[in-house]
Chains A and B, each alone.
Chain A
Amino acid sequence: MSFQGLKDYFSRHFLGRVKVYSYLWTFEVPQTVSLRRVVETHPVRTSIRVLSAALLPLEGLRCHNKEFRFPAHMVRVYGEKVRSYAPREIVVRGFSPLRVVALQDLKRAMLLPLEKENRLAWLKERPQKTGELILAWFGPIIEEALVKLVLNKQRGTLLIWYNPHSRHFLARSLYLYRRLGPRQKPGWQWVDWR
């Protein structure tokens, strides 16, 4: 036992004293960090330098004051009169704007035949005539207005010329058929369009 321990022992037994220790508890204040973000802005664009523009000789150079052009209503800048500026049309020699003229030729259109296609493939109900084979079906054709009919055998179409003075509008169908049997020639038959 050390001297300090012996002193504490006798002091407690004979004097009734107990040594009291003091303890200083230190509290560490937690560090707080702000959640707010700081936004740094950096310009993306590069710095712009304005260079003096080289003006084309379009009367622009005449209207100036210290190399700047001004609107017409600003009549005086630093005491100097600014003349109005208006761009003018550039004239390129040897070049004229594109032009088109519409010509009329009704006669040419009148001479061209109407070309009717064979509609047999779309026919749902064919006329039932025994011994007849339908080869082609054309329509609508204004029978009363007809001037000429020609079968285009290469294309299988019917060429039609109408009388332009005709007043008829009743449409009919015309079909090409062939009678079954030896030496039978093809024939034409008119029927109602509907």
Chain B
Amino acid sequence: MLSERRIGRKVSQMAGNNSLGYVIVEGMEGQFRGASLVVDFRGIPMDFRYTDPIRPSKLERILYGSALDVYLREELILESLLSAVETKPLVWVCREGDLLQPLKTIGKGKAIFLAPSNSAPLEAAGEVEATGEAGIYMLQADSLSAPLRASLPSGSRPEEMQELSRILVEAAETMELLEPFGRIQKALTSLGEE
């Protein structure tokens, strides 16, 4: 029987380190927690990390003030998750715009914000179209879905979007790009119920 770590390493070797990392950090009703999932291009998990929920006390809320939310999300949860991950993905993906910049800084790699859209499909897979909003693109990852809303960290060059588009289109050949977010959410729900 292979250990979990060995399975993760084995999947990583087979996938040729073609992997995507997904991060969720949520703060609801005064409670913060986060999780990261690294999957290969088929969606098979290679690394899963989570944090125990943190509920700041009244004293902590007073002492940290308005910086509490950012401190918890970025410096504590995100940094703890990303530093613990052993299998570094090609790209870190988040679905919260606020996480994009720290994800790139802490993750020390490529980072992208992806979200579903209701727009009509673009002509072909791999097509990237700038929207009216600054820094927001529409990315057609595959031919059987609506384009995704994509955004890069500030200061990124347009060529980086093309490079990331190539990686994501390749991954979309064998997996659904936004699907791992649902699994992380389910994992966090099951952890919360324990």
Contact = CB atoms under 8 A, between A and B. Distances in A.
Interface residues of B, number: 53
A149 to B, nearest CB: 14
Contact of A142 (B42, B80, B121, B144): B42
A160 B172 CA distance: 16
A101 B183 contact: no
Given A101-B80, A164-B44, A193-B173, A115 B4 contact: no
A99 interface: yes
Interface string A81-124: 00000000000101100111111111111101011110100111
A63 to B, nearest CB: 27
B192 to A, nearest CB: 12
Interface string A37-76: 0000000000000000000000000000000000000000
A126 B3 CA distance: 44
Given A109-B37, A119-B145, A171 B173 contact: yes
Given A98-B56, A114-B183, A140 B174 contact: yes
Interface in B1-20: 2, 4-5, 7-8, 10-11, 14
A142 B176 CA distance: 12
A190 to B, nearest CB: 15
B176 A116 contact: yes
Given A103-B49, A104-B48, A115 B182 contact: yes
Interface centre among A100, A109, A140, A145 (most CB of B within 10 A): A109
Contacts of A162: 42-44
A119 B2 CA distance: 36
A123 B144 contact: yes
B183 A169 contact: no
Given A95-B59, A98-B54, A112 B174 contact: no
A122 B118 CA distance: 12
Interface residues of A, number: 38
A150 B159 CA distance: 41
Contacts of B8: 106
Contact of B4 (A92, A100, A106, A193): A106
Nearest to B190: A108
B42 A102 contact: no
14 contacts: A95-B59, A98-B64, A100-B80, A105-B50, A106-B4, A106-B8, A108-B187, A110-B7, A112-B187, A114-B43, A117-B179, A119-B145, A123-B144, A142-B174
Given A105-B48, A139-B144, A166-B44, 12 more contacts: A100-B77, A102-B50, A108-B190, A110-B4, A117-B176, A117-B179, A122-B144, A140-B142, A142-B174, A145-B42, A145-B44, A165-B2
Interface of B: 2, 4-5, 7-8, 10-11, 14, 37, 41-52, 54, 56, 59-60, 63-64, 71-72, 76-77, 80-81, 83-84, 121, 142-146, 172-176, 179, 182-183, 186-187, 190-191
